[in-house]
Amino acid sequence: MNSNITETDRRFMAACIRYSRRQLGLTGTNPSVGTLIVRDDGQGPFIVGRGITARGGRPHAEPIALAEAGDLARGATAYVSLEPCAHHGRTPPCADALVAAGIARVVVALTDPDDRVSGRGFEILRAGGIEVVQGALPDMGLSVLSGYLTRSFKKRCQVTLKLAVSADGMIGRAAAGQVPITGDEARAQSHVLRAEHDAILVGIGTAIEDNPELTCRLPGLDSRSPLRVVLDSHARLPLSSRLVQSIGAAPLAVATVEPEGTAAQALAGTGVQMIACEEYDGCIALPELLEDLASRGITRLLVEGGAAVARSFLDEDLADTVVLFESDVVVGANGIAAPFTRSTLLGRYDEAAVWNFGGDRCYEFRRRD
């Protein structure tokens, strides 16, 4: 453990990372970074400036926080979840801005892998006389920045696989449309997950059977609906489906191996984006699709169903995080069995968190890389 990191540092870094969650799903290819400017004039530390990477990725977090702090930044500590940038993009380097503002100390969770930054941000800070403390709560930092890091290192979007399972191990009932498994609180939480991702994906079976809308319908957060993507080899998505009908509320893309066919062209005519896919073993090739989505600026993808799609992502080792809701509801006859259970996940995943939402439990698993 880095002995330069104090208990106060951990407290403010935790607050900084929690704060940075707010822009997840909104910053495109840019990471959602948080900055808190904290000063202590002898009566205890207090926050004088806050910033998170803005919608679309700019401005970055640091200049927003510095602007709020004004002259109070002089002599203060800046908590930043990612190494401050060193490059001239549409804005000047954040590392320079921290030096110019007279910041005395910078505490960072994770190093930025971007070639234009990696290590150089720290160099600028040190050359400017700032004390730099690296490695404050890196695991917590990863909970927000892992999508950005996955996209940087693996050139594909990060995948969160979400599943709701009944007490008898089912995810629905055959030919019954949407079957409620979890309660209101868990459902609201799954809409938070939608808001925090750049795109949400289901298979064509779920799109037809459940006829979902896949938008974020939390009060005040409807503008945070992600791009909706349907895995639909033969472009079978009905024009009358809720997904197509709600295209004004959130964009929709169909991943298909027949982008030029009549059905695909009819969908395209309504504004649906076509993603031309490669076929592997009679199915859409998922690794290539994830690369394609990353190149379209998608950093975090939420996979919501159904069983076959979930199984494919797990079998191909493409699910980075699994969010599993468990309820006390019994589905009974004609149930569709869950493609995995908590115990089958534990071989490859670590249980990272457990929550209660109303009467339901929610487990977050992270893949051991």
Least separation in angstroms between residue 32's CB and Zn ion is 13
Q: Which of 82, 84, 81 is nearest to 103 (CA)?
A: 84
| Residue 198 binds to ligand AOF (criterion: CB under 6 A) | no
Residue 81 or 215: the one with the smaller Cβ distance to ligand AOF is 81
Q: How many residues bind ligand AOF (CB under 6 A)?
A: 18
Q: Catalytic residue, from 7, 62, 291, 364: name it.
A: 62
| Residue 368 binds to ligand AOF (criterion: CB under 6 A) | no
Least separation in angstroms between residue 314's CB and ligand AOF is 30
Of 8-16, 52-60, 102-110, 320-328, the segment contacting ligand AOF by CB under 6 A is 52-60
Residue 65 or 85: the one with the smaller Cβ distance to Zn ion is 85
Contacts of residue 301, defined as CB under 8 A and 6 or more positions apart, other chains included, come to 157, 158, 159, 160, 197, 198, 199, 200, 201, 229, 290, 293
Q: Which of 113, 24, 54, 58 is nearest to 301 (CA)?
A: 24
Of 89-97, 101-109, 139-147, 359-367, the segment contacting ligand AOF by CB under 6 A is 89-97
Burial of 192 (0-12, 13-18, 19+ CB in 10 A): middle
| Residue 62 binds to ligand AOF (criterion: CB under 6 A) | yes
| Residue 290 binds to ligand AOF (criterion: CB under 6 A) | no
Q: Which of 96, 93, 85, 12 is nearest to 47 (CA)?
A: 12
Dist CA 244 CA 20 (whole Å): 32
Burial of 43 (0-12, 13-18, 19+ CB in 10 A): exposed
Residue 125 or 229: the one with the smaller Cβ distance to ligand AOF is 125
Least separation in angstroms between residue 61's CB and ligand AOF is 4
Which of 9, 16, 65, 84 forms a contact with ligand AOF (CB under 6 A)? 84
State whether the Cα torsion 16-20-21-22 is positive or negative: positive
Of 112-120, 180-188, 189-197, 271-279, the segment contacting ligand AOF by CB under 6 A is 112-120
Residue 62 is a catalytic residue: yes
User: What are the E-state strand segments in 64-190?
Assistant: 77-82, 105-110, 131-133, 158-165, 170-173
Least separation in angstroms between residue 303's CB and ligand AOF is 25
Which active-site residues does the annotation give? 62
